[in-house]
Structure 1
């Protein structure tokens, strides 16, 4: 740009509402435009933006909108897509890389918040907290609800040992839980510190009282929790997912809960989001929440500010450590 200013498109209601992140972007001196995250790319009109969409240099966004190859064709000058989420499966990474567009995320920024929530779902599911709440509101006393089992000294099976997984481990240790982990990258020193046993996925599923899923979504992990996986679990076991909905075959999850292959589950993420109707919602042995594990005020603020700084770093010619495809610079035509 002749005046040195570049064009930043913010596609996120939540980021627009967070003054710290917006202040960081405004102080850069670049031009900003805000678009509602539920709009389709082809619906964005010229009168909504202070600059043409084709002149966009940076996009800061969450996971609600999908960035396809067609969308990238509309933004030929784009340099960076800065996500204020840890997931990036809503971006066509191959197309972005081929076009020289860096994609950044904020992986691990809300690990502590997500781990807190995982423990909350564990307690809610295993100790029948939601069921007890519903019972007393309908005139029933606790003795009429199902009895619950213990979390104290139960066997926890964790699938995935990233930053969220490690935060879950720290909390589980306080419950004196036996810790089993399945991960592609075992760390023996870490295991010794927490008394962790590394197992295959099948071994973990067979032994755990509570299975917590914190794995990343990729083509090899999609539907990793299928019929075979759920049938390996104990009938008394509980399943918790705070990772990605697509890691679980929801039709099989419904069957596993309905037919009592497992005792219960706590689910914060779904294959399709937002989800307003599902047979899952009719199950009494399932606790459901609307993808809110990482949504605390401090978590949202931290994620938004980090995404803003990632976008600005790329506009200044840097490759942030949060870059998911640093090779994009080399592959750009």
Structure 2
């Protein structure tokens, strides 16, 4: 938290030639800022990273089926998507106003106003010290989702009504560029979905390392070429029976590149926990990278609520009081 700025002490015997200028400054200042000065409180803006700040860095170096509990701060971009008060999908922070998730989490019949986004959350039962809750301003579904539904184009951008306040527990992940090289990289999936073939669930965020599987092999495993398209990515630890399950949809698949984490996939579909020999299928983030950046850059920011009449009146009335206090000091 920002510390209060120190107030310079008056120098004994010094003249005060700046007093008229101070009065003029008070007259020119916005009422809200004058009110802050009058009450001795600095005007503090929310601490938020802008789009030029680095993404994909975390402060901890560090149950999906076969997964383990995750400590706080390890995956600071993880999002829990709630609908009507219940966790339904995962997501990831990619910008101070934007969440990346799966299109099928936001079906047309669902009311956008019933969605809530939680960041800085590890345990679904209790909010942490850095947990933040957000309302949804807009959901943008990729246009090919309607064409290839239920499997293709399964990616969505969610714009929040207010910006995320970043900390060591809440940070954005980098979006994989179109030319990303996925050879010999270590990737991880995170989520709160089903954690066993018997259908057991976990309230605590889970993680599991997921080897990437080539598109031809994935097509062979599913037995049909048309099931696995170019905008998809396959991953799963078939040998050790680790895959993503119901409830993990929309969550991120991230890989580390030179100490920077890039999101390469969004959990889309698969055969689930019942058939762990089938890899999970993800929306390939690099395929949608240009579409993602276009909408982040060109979508207007949400309108912010105006100050209430009472607060504006209070701030306005404080101006004469402040001026009177200054005049008494002359």
Give the structure with the larger helix fraction. 1
Compute the TM-score of the two structures, normalised by the length of structure 2.
Answer: 0.28
Give the structure with the larger strand fraction. 2
